[in-house]
Amino acid sequence: MSELNNSMTQSSLNTATTSAYEKWRLLKDAIMRRAVVAGGLSVIFAIVVIFFYLLYVVYPLFLPATAERVSQYVIPGENAGKTLLLAVEEQNEIAARFTDTGQVIFFEAKTGKILAQKTVLLPEGSTIVSSAQGTPMREGAIAYGLSNGQVILVKQQYKMTFAGEKRVITPSLSYPMGEKPLVIDESGAAVEKIAFKIGDNSTVIVAKSAKKIHVASFEKEQSLFSDEPTLTRTDSILDISGADISDILVDKEDHNLFLMSNDGLLSYIDISKKNAPEIKQRLNVVKVGDKVTSISFLNGDLSLMIGDSTGLASQWSLVKNPTGGPAFERIRAFKVSEKAVVAISTSEQRRRGFMTVDANGMMGIYHSTSEREMIKTPVSDATPVAAILSPRANALLIQNHDGKIHFWHVDNEHPEVSIKSMWQKVWYESYPKPAYIWQSSSASDDFEPKYSLTPLVFGTLKAAFYAMLVAIPLSLMGAIYTAYFMSPKMRIYAKPAIEIMGALPTVILGFLAGLWLAPFIEENLAGLFALLMIVPLGVMVFAFGIQCLPEPIRLKIPEGWDAALLIPVILISGWFAFSISIPLETALFHGTLRDWFKAELGIGYDQRNALVVGIAMGFAVVPTIFSIAEDAIFSVPKHLTVGSLALGATPWQTMIRVVLLTASPGIFSAIMIGFGRAVGETMIVLMATGNTPVMDLSIFQGLRTLAANIAVEMPETEVDSTHYRVLFLAALVLFMFTFVFNTLAEVIRQRLREKYSSL
The residues pairing with 395 across neighbouring beta strands, listed in sequence order, are 409
pLDDT of residue 662: 85
pLDDT tens digits along 541-559: 888 888 887 877 777 777 7
The pLDDT of 237-244, averaged and rounded, is 73
Residue 199 makes CB contacts below 8 A (sequence gap 6+) with 252, 254
Q: What's the CA gap between 588 and 580, in Å, rounded? A: 12
Phi, psi of 196 (to 5 degrees): -160, 165
Q: How does DSSP classify residue 123?
A: P
Question: pTM to 2 decimals?
Answer: 0.85
Least Cα distance to 435 among 452, 458, 418 occurs for 452
Q: What's the CA gap between 598 and 591, in Å, rounded? A: 12
pLDDT of residue 749: 78
- The pLDDT confidence band at residue 315, using thresholds 50, 70 and 90, is very high
Kindly report the length of the chain.
759
CA distances from 690 to 41, 450, 582, 703 (A): 40, 19, 25, 7
pLDDT of residue 5: 60
Contact 336, 307 (CB under 8 A): yes
Q: What's the CA gap between 578 and 590, in Å, rounded? A: 18
Phi, psi of 236 (to 5 degrees): -145, 155
Contact 141, 198 (CB under 8 A): yes
Q: Looking at this protein, which amino acid is placed at residue 429?
A: E
Burial (Cβ within 10 Å: 0-12, 13-18, ≥19) of residue 21: exposed
Q: What is the CA radius of gyration of the chain?
A: 38
Q: In what order do the strands lie in the sheet with 256-261?
A: 245-250, 256-261, 265-270, 278-284
Residue 702 makes CB contacts below 8 A (sequence gap 6+) with 606, 608, 609, 610, 689, 690, 691, 692, 694
pLDDT of residue 224: 57
The pLDDT of 493-504, averaged and rounded, is 86
Question: Between 49 and 276, where is the model more confident?
Answer: 49
> Would you call 505 helix, strand, or coil by DSSP?
coil
pLDDT tens digits along 705-753: 998 899 888 888 888 888 899 999 999 999 988 888 888 888 887 787 7
- Mean pLDDT check: name the lowest of 228-232, 245-249, 438-442, 704-708: 228-232
Is a pLDDT exceeding 80 seen at residue 463? yes
Q: In sequence order, which ranges of 295-439 are alpha helices (DSSP H)? A: 419-423
pLDDT tens digits along 608-664: 888 999 999 999 999 999 998 988 888 888 888 888 888 888 888 888 888 888 888
pLDDT tens digits along 62-119: 888 888 889 989 998 888 889 888 888 888 888 999 998 888 999 998 988 898 888 8
Q: What's the CA gap between 414 and 412, in Å, rounded? A: 6
Contact 302, 429 (CB under 8 A): yes
CA distances from 325 to 152, 420, 513 (A): 36, 29, 41
The pLDDT of 523-533, averaged and rounded, is 87
pLDDT of residue 12: 63
Residue 129: how many CB atoms within 10 A of its CB?
Answer: 18
Phi, psi of 180 (to 5 degrees): -80, 130
pLDDT of residue 756: 67
Stated as kind and residue range, the H or E segment containing 83 is strand 83-88
The residues pairing with 183 across neighbouring beta strands, listed in sequence order, are 150
Q: What's the CA gap between 581 and 588, in Å, rounded? A: 11
Category of 312 on φ-ψ map: left (φ > 0), alpha (ψ -120 to 50) or beta: beta
Pairing of strands 128-133, 245-250: unpaired
pLDDT of residue 725: 92
Contact 363, 377 (CB under 8 A): yes
pLDDT of residue 163: 75
Contact 160, 193 (CB under 8 A): no
% of the chain at pLDDT higher than 70: 94
The residues pairing with 146 across neighbouring beta strands, listed in sequence order, are 128
Q: In sequence order, which ranges of 268-309 are alpha helices (DSSP H)? A: none
> Would you call 109 helix, strand, or coil by DSSP?
coil
Q: What's the CA gap between 40 and 23, in Å, rounded? A: 26
pLDDT of residue 526: 86
* C-alpha triplet 249, 253, 254: angle, nearest 5°: 50
pLDDT of residue 54: 92
Side-chain-facing half-sphere of 756: CA atoms under 13 Å: 19
Q: Per the omega criterion (within 30 degrees of 0), is the bond before 378 cis?
A: no
Q: What's the CA gap between 673 and 665, in Å, rounded? A: 12
Least Cα distance to 584 among 635, 517, 528, 513 occurs for 528
pLDDT tens digits along 205-232: 888 888 788 888 888 776 655 566 677 8
Third-level CATH fold of 454-756: MetI-like fold (1.10.3720)
> Would you call 268 helix, strand, or coil by DSSP?
strand
The pLDDT of 682-689, averaged and rounded, is 87
**Sign of the CA dihedral running 596, 599, 603, 607:** positive
Buried b (16+ CB within 10 A) or exposed e, 384-421: bbbbbbbbbbbbbbbbbeeeebbbbbbebbbbbbbeeb
pLDDT of residue 241: 65
pLDDT tens digits along 389-424: 888 888 889 988 888 889 999 998 888 888 988 999
pLDDT of residue 412: 87
- The pLDDT confidence band at residue 55, using thresholds 50, 70 and 90, is very high
**Average of per-residue pLDDT values in the chain:** 85
Question: Helices 488-499 and 610-634 meet at what angle, rounded to 10?
Answer: 140
pLDDT of residue 473: 92
Q: Where are the domains of the chain?
A: 2-62, 122-284, 454-756
Residue 71 makes CB contacts below 8 A (sequence gap 6+) with 110, 111, 112, 406, 407
Contact 16, 8 (CB under 8 A): no
Is a pLDDT exceeding 90 seen at residue 242? no
**Sign of the CA dihedral running 637, 643, 646, 651:** negative
Contact 403, 83 (CB under 8 A): no
Q: What's the CA gap between 525 and 515, in Å, rounded? A: 16
Q: How does DSSP classify residue 437?
A: -
Least Cα distance to 573 among 545, 548, 544, 539 occurs for 539
pLDDT of residue 237: 84
pLDDT tens digits along 343-398: 888 888 788 888 999 888 889 999 988 888 888 988 887 788 888 888 888 888 99
